[in-house]
Amino acid sequence: MPSPPIGIGLMPSIWSAHRNIVYKGFIFILTYLCYASYHLSRKPVSVVKSVLHQNCSLLTLGVGNWHNISNSTKDDTWCDWPPFDKSDYDELLGSLDYGFLFAYAVGMFISGHVAERMNLRHFLTIGMIGSGILTATFGLGYFFNIHVFAFYVIVQIVAGLFSSTGWPSVVACMGNWYGKSKRGLIMGIWNSHTSVGNILGAVIPALFVETAWGWSFVVPGIIIGSLGVIVFFFLVPAPEDVGCPSPDHLGKNVTLDVEAPHSQTTKPELQDKAGSVQILPSASEETPLITSGSKDKPVTFLRALFIPGVIEFALCLFFAKLVSYTFLFWLPFYIKNATSYKAEASALLSTLFDVGGIAGGILAGIISDVTGARAATCTLMLLAAAPMMYVYSVFGSLTFTHNVVLLLVCGLLVNGPYALITTAVSADLGTHKSLLGNAKALATVTAIIDGTGSMGAALGPLLTGLIAPLSWEYVFYMLIAADGMASLLLIRLVYRDVLMMIRRIRGLQ
């Protein structure tokens, strides 16, 4: 058993009374801040895009701290930052996103495997400090007047690898401390760190973007690196590390809730009352994926992949995250080009998408807890998001009010399913009953689901960079199609959810 971190050992009196409750609250807050800082460090690229290449005819020569400010006003790229001053700037900016996100996706599969096999506190510390250094390094390109594209794309690739350490680590920590009871609501509230990080990642860089954009990266880098130091001294990855009881991962009444292929009857009293994700049992679900002798050992990647429901939700997240991350990396740029707002105003307005995302994550968690139907909840929100994105593309730029309202609604519907899958669903599947109470699959399952989703997250911004020069209308068609595919991939699980809810209704009659 790992020893408690140094910081906890120096403050025994704080943790003496109500140890378990205090620790759970502390882990909630600390992991919340950690992952908010990860998103804070990813967002600056989307904010700075609008000044790396912009409409220089709208600016006055001599305004702003530009690298080639003495050039003739006849040069309509005088305000751009080489190498993003050429006609292929969309592809170059898209490549920055793709380099980061592809490395992030590949790193996610590796991180899940490593996180299960080393101290999560050390792993998360390394990831956060490394992410801070790489984020700040991108900003140093401004101060050292670097105009080599290879520098920026290599920094983004390495940053993506370090950034992949975050999600498996924080979800594993939360899964270790919190059981199935009200998991959707708790994880929905906790997952607002994603939107809060995106908001801070837009607001803080926006303060510097029009004067010295390098600070838009350096300041977030300092923040996440500093939090990494705090993690090293204070994070407690699991309850047993400090003598607290482990939560109930199986739930008190969790068994099969839908008729298995080889079974003719299913007793109503054996239904899951904990509101966890409902997966139709099969012959493989009847057979434990681990043996009693390996209960406390990490689960292999292959075994985690065959936990019922992992593949469906992973593929669904591929398309759901494609949509979410396209908004994350391109929304400020789109708003600036579709409206008359400047870079700072566009960045601040884009935060409303994430404000809606906070409400969406919480709402999805509550609905799925009450109904016990995680897949159906995701599908309904995905189906509603598709037409809403079209409405935003047509009417969002008409007035400020249209933009605000539609961004809030789109954020709610787009990020709700994404938040539910990456938190409550991942935690449910990582502590699936076929694992016999073993929580050692949490990071691996989380990595499989979010790693697959991150492949889509890498593809979306890249395609946007290629499609946007033709028309932003085509970009929105792509996003609508991706949402439709995400909902189709959950049809089998939605069918199971419907059967489960019908049985519950009949049981109450």
Q: How is the chain split into domains, by residue range?
A: 6-246+255-508
> Residue 124 carries which side chain, given as an amino acid letter?
L
Helix 343-371 × helix 44-52 angle, to 10°: 150
- Topology of domain 6-246+255-508, CATH: Growth Hormone; Chain: A; (1.20.1250)
- Predicted pLDDT of residue 439: 55
Report the distance separating Cα 188 and Cα 381, nearest Å. Answer: 15
- Predicted pLDDT of residue 440: 61
Q: What is the pLDDT of residues 338-362, one digit of tens each?
A: 888 887 888 889 989 999 999 999 9
Q: What is the pLDDT of residues 248-265, one digit of tens each?
A: 655 443 333 333 333 333
> Residue 86: phi, psi to the nearest 5?
-95, 175
Answer whether residue 500 shows pLDDT above 70.
yes
Cα–Cα–Cα angle for 264, 266, 271, nearest 5°?
160
Report the distance separating Cα 341 and Cα 209, nearest Å. Answer: 14
Q: How far apart, in Å, do the first and last CA atoms of the chain sit?
A: 49
> Residue 493 carries which side chain, given as an amino acid letter?
L
Answer whether residue 68 shows pLDDT above 50.
no
Answer whether residue 230 shows pLDDT above 80.
yes
Answer whether residue 57 shows pLDDT above 60.
yes
Q: What is the pLDDT of residues 163-189, one digit of tens each?
A: 999 988 998 898 888 876 677 788 889
- Count the alpha carbons within 13 Å of 388 in the hemisphere toward its beta carbon: 22
Helix 374-395 × helix 343-371 angle, to 10°: 150
Q: What is the DSSP letter of 236?
A: -
Burial 432-470 (b: 16+ CB within 10 A, else e): bbbbeebbbbbbbbbbbbbbbbbbbbbbbbbbbbebbee
Least confident segment among 32-41, 84-93, 290-299: 290-299
Query: Given the structure tokens 């040069």, which residue do they identify?
Result: 75
Full-model pTM: 0.75
Answer whether residue 84 shows pLDDT above 50.
yes
- Predicted pLDDT of residue 271: 42
* Most confidently modeled range among 84-93, 202-211, 220-229: 220-229
What's the whole-number mean pLDDT along residues 211-237? 96
| Strand, coil or helix: 294 | helix
Least confident segment among 40-49, 290-299, 324-333, 401-410: 290-299
Question: Contact at 8 Å (CB) between 156 and 141?
Answer: no
Report the distance separating Cα 167 and Cα 189, nearest Å. Answer: 16
- Predicted pLDDT of residue 319: 96
